[in-house]
Amino acid sequence: MIDHPPFALFIRGSKVDAFAVSDQLGFETGMEALAVSLFEDGPETMHVQALFETQAQAEACLDGLKFPSDMESFITQLPDEDWISKSQAGLPPVKAGRFWLYGTHDADNIPSNVPFPIEINAGLAFGTGHHGTTKGCLLIFDKLLESGFKPKRVLDLGCGAGVLAIAAAKALQQDILATDIDQDAVDVTLQNALANNVSEFVKSYQADGFDSPELKGQRFDLIFANILAKPLMGLAPDIAHALAPDGKVILSGILNEQAEMVSDAFTKKGLEVSPQPSLSGWTSLLGQKP
């Protein structure tokens, strides 16, 4: 832990642009960010916050980012206080069906009737469950479980912090494969699986696409794909091919206005796609292979 308040880089703009910047901050710059967070701050806008040990690190990161000129950006040192506790306390628990996502600061406040509590703290990898995309995936998964769906082979594609893989491991008590293009995400997923007592089930690997050794030739009964609209559309042929007959895919990271074109991309590959209720401007889709 550093002995002084960190320097925060803030970048604010449209949801699409902010999400793209958050991907760069988390996975592409190589900078040693202490934490990266993405927040909705209006109907159409979001802001990204990345914390660094030094101002020089924050400035170097900002110089390396690519984003539209109309996005606001600035660097400031946070107040001299327990900023880690403050940051974590700013993330309230999230209920998504039978799943309850919480930070360590809320470990003593888990309702007794929650079947699957999941401890996730803000950090370098994305997907704490406090964003509508992750929550949307969990709600769809919860409904599938409620209907009696019991997938034997499950993939969390682009796992981030591993929330979806951990949720599946807790609910199904079986091996879950989690992959991401970034090694940081893989490491965080494995750490979170250990913290949630499902490390025996969650197998996480760095993999760039379905041609990687970990994914090539495999078929899955359920695929979580909480990424972004454009990458999802590009992956549509591979995802459809990787689904077993009657397999399902939960697609997320999709703005409401992008839902139709993402749905079309998967429908053209032979899947039956149904949109789910929107959460804070984000739509999740459920696709099924005949």
The model's pLDDT over 180-191, given as tens digits with 9 standing for 90+, comes to 988 888 998 999
What local confidence, expressed as pLDDT, does residue 31 receive? 57
Give the global pTM.
Answer: 0.76
Distance from C-alpha of 165 to C-alpha of 153, rounded to nearest angstrom:
12
Q: Which residue would you say has higher pLDDT here, 35 or 252?
A: 252
What whole-number percentage of the chain has pLDDT above 70?
86
Average pLDDT for the chain: 85
What local confidence, expressed as pLDDT, does residue 94 receive? 79
Torsion, Cα 22 28 31 32, to 10 degrees, reads 70
All domains of the chain, ordered by start, with CATH? 7-86 (3.30.70.100), 124-288 (3.40.50.150)
Q: Which of 160, 138, 121, 123 is nearest to 23 (CA)?
A: 160
What local confidence, expressed as pLDDT, does residue 280 receive? 73
- Report the chain's C-alpha Rg in angstroms: 18
What local confidence, expressed as pLDDT, does residue 131 receive? 61
Q: Which residue would you say has higher pLDDT here, 148 or 282?
A: 148
Confidence of residue 26 (pLDDT cuts 50, 70, 90): low
The model's pLDDT over 72-131, given as tens digits with 9 standing for 90+, comes to 898 988 766 545 545 555 456 778 899 988 877 677 777 888 899 999 876 544 554 556
What local confidence, expressed as pLDDT, does residue 193 receive? 97
The whole-number average pLDDT for the span 47-75 is 88
The model's pLDDT over 185-218, given as tens digits with 9 standing for 90+, comes to 899 899 999 999 999 999 999 998 899 999 999 9
What local confidence, expressed as pLDDT, does residue 123 receive? 53
pLDDT at 21 over 70: yes
What local confidence, expressed as pLDDT, does residue 34 receive? 75
What local confidence, expressed as pLDDT, does residue 233 receive? 94
DSSP 70: T
244 forms beta bridges with none
CA distances from 157 to 9, 10, 36, 166, 186 (A): 28, 28, 20, 13, 11
HSE toward the beta carbon, residue 262, CA cutoff 13 A: 29
SS (H, E, C) 216-232: CCCCEEEEEEECCHHHH
